[in-house]
Amino acid sequence: MTKTLRIVGQALPIILLMLIGELFAGSIFGRMRHLLAATPGLIVLVPALLALRGNINTALASRLSTAVHMGLVPPDVPWDHEIRTNLLSSILLGLLMGTVAGLFAHALSVTVGAESAGMLLLGSIGGGVGLLSGIAMAPVTTKTVSIAFKRGIDPDNVVGPILLTLGDILTIVLLFVVAALLTGVGP
């Protein structure tokens, strides 16, 4: 029972704190109404980009955490060749899948007969947000894992929620910036 409570004691406070972060991301999203209305198909892209950023970084953190647990990587997660390769592939994955998500959002909109801002625009927004959020989140991911280990916290309990929330906030902000820049439309 104590071990179970330890898991709860580490994870629960972070999760409750991160809920506030998610509400913050939601409030930014709420201010994008004009931009979203002016860019048909963009809103379809949003959950996909959020999920994409979350998936890539939590998978990376999960791999790093397992590697440190098994003694393959030191707890301070230095950016050696192997780690850098991992990070680079995550960033490229974000660029590629972000673009694909944009293209899918366009195709889906067209298929159901809704308007679409176009393959080029949606693909570029998706790819741009995927790439930039990946670059920004790479050091955050490794740092979060190493800080957790250094404080004696099991990263599995806290890193997921932290990366998901920071990734969501970052993705929404970047979406705002990239979409506004590429469409010329303000909030």
Partner 1 sequence: MVGAVLGSRVATGLHTGNLLSDHALEFRRDIAATILIGAATFATLAVVAVAGAHLMGTTGATLLGGLLLVIAGTGLLLIVGMIAVVIIIGAISFRIGWDPDNVVVPVVTTSGDLLGVTSFILMVQWVGL
Which C-beta is closer to partner 1: that of 117 or that of 158? 158
CB of 180 to partner 1, least distance (A): 26
- Sorted by sequence, the CB contacts under 8 Å of residue 119 that are 6+ apart come out as 102, 103, 106
Is the CB of 16 or the CB of 120 nearer to partner 1?
Answer: 16
The secondary structure of 22-65 as a DSSP string is HHHHHHHHHTTHHHHHHSTTHHHHHHHHHHHHHHHHHHHHHHHH
Q: What is the Cα–Cα distance from 162 to 90, expressed in whole angstroms?
A: 18
Residue closer to partner 1, measured from CB, 118 or 156: 156
Distances (CA, A) of 176 to 67, 157, 165, 170: 35, 31, 17, 10
Q: How far apart are CA 179 and CA 39, in angstroms?
A: 8
CB of 15 to partner 1, least distance (A): 5
Binding-site ranges for partner 1 (CB under 8 A): 3-5, 7-8, 11-12, 15-16, 18-19, 47, 51, 54-55, 58-59, 61-63, 65-66, 69-70, 154-161, 164-165
Nearer to partner 1, 5 or 114 (CB): 5
CB of 55 to partner 1, least distance (A): 4
**Minimum CB distance to partner 1, residue 124 (Å):** 24
